[in-house]
Amino acid sequence: MEDIKAYIESGILELYVLGDVTPEEKLQVEAMAAKHPAIKAELGEIERSMEAYAEHNAVEPPDGLRGRVLNSILTNFGDDRTFEKYDDAKDNVIALPAAKQNNFYKYAFAACLALLIASGIALMNLYNKLQESKSQIAVLQTNNQHFANQVSFIEKDLGVLRDTSYKFLKLNATPKAPAGTAVSIAWSKQKQKVWVDLATLKMPVNDQAHQYQLWAIVAGKPVDLGVFDSGADSTGMKEMKTIAAIKTDAFAVTLEPRGGSINPTMDQMMVIGKF
């Protein structure tokens, strides 16, 4: 009994519970515990005492520590730079195929993601360039149409000027109009057409509520030949309504409500002239 008591008081049992013994001492303690119930009971009592001490002195970890530890583990796991690179010839360590596969899939995913982003950017740039091209084409088409209209107007003007059937007449200002007011017209009896030369027009600019109206005086009666405007953008020759009368006494222009009148407003007659 004295040997058992001395063995228990030697402190080897506490070191065994703490795991601080050599493999030989561990086997010895386990053999003694199996042989002597007192030693086994003492080991149980030591384990219970240490568990109670640990629970009593346990410290609650701060909030968020678990998350920070996990995040640190995941970050280190995802960063190849945290792993040591071993020399196969020096340490005779064989690389695991699974680790190579994991790295391959990770790099492949990163490459695919980069390619997807680059493709999206390229498509967006291509779309923007396509929209710009469409806008430029629309502008060019508008300009071409404008030029085509200008050419058409010029051809008509030249056609009138070259046509010997047209006679040109300048309508001069009446006392109702400002000094210098004048309108030039071209009239063809054969073609029964009348044109107003807007390029040489010298008329006060009309407002949005009024327009100038051209009249032909036939046998003392006014015949409506249409309306026109006077402004900074008035250019070229403007074709008026057809006149069937072969003999015309005179031509006149009055200021009328926009769209024209059935009968001329005599006190608003601006110019008049006759061949």
Domain membership flag for residue 229: yes
**Which of 162, 183, 203 is the C-terminal boundary of a domain?**
162
- pLDDT, residue 1, reads 62
- pLDDT, residue 249, reads 85
**Which of 128, 162, 196 is the C-terminal boundary of a domain?**
162
- pLDDT, residue 106, reads 64
Residue 161 has pLDDT above 90, yes or no: no
DSSP bridge partners of 250: 217
User: What is the count of structural domains for the chain?
Assistant: 3
Residue range of the domain that includes 261 = 166-273
Instruction: Give the closest residue to 238 by CA, choosing from 196, 179, 205, 199.
Output: 196
Q: Are residues 203 and 263 in the same domain?
A: yes
- pLDDT, residue 61, reads 59
Residue 172 has pLDDT above 90, yes or no: yes
Domain membership flag for residue 61: no
Q: Are residues 35 and 131 in the same domain?
A: no
**Which of 134, 162, 190 is the C-terminal boundary of a domain?**
162
Domain membership flag for residue 244: yes
Local confidence band at 48 (pLDDT 50, 70, 90 cut-offs): confident
Percent of residues, the chain, with pLDDT higher than 70: 73
Q: Are residues 199 and 175 in the same domain?
A: yes
pTM exceeds cut of 0.75: no
Q: Are residues 109 and 50 in the same domain?
A: no
- pLDDT, residue 104, reads 65
Q: Are residues 263 and 179 in the same domain?
A: yes
Residues 6+ apart with CB under 8 A from 8: 38, 39, 42
Q: Are residues 191 and 267 in the same domain?
A: yes
Average pLDDT taken over every residue of the chain: 79
Q: Are 255 and 209 in contact (CB under 8 A)?
A: no
DSSP bridge partners of 257: 210
Domain membership flag for residue 80: no
Q: Are residues 197 and 150 in the same domain?
A: no
- pLDDT, residue 145, reads 67
Domain membership flag for residue 67: no
Strands (E), 157-268: 166-173, 182-188, 193-197, 210-218, 221-228, 237-239, 250-257
Local confidence band at 62 (pLDDT 50, 70, 90 cut-offs): low
Domain membership flag for residue 143: yes
Local confidence band at 3 (pLDDT 50, 70, 90 cut-offs): confident
Domain membership flag for residue 75: no
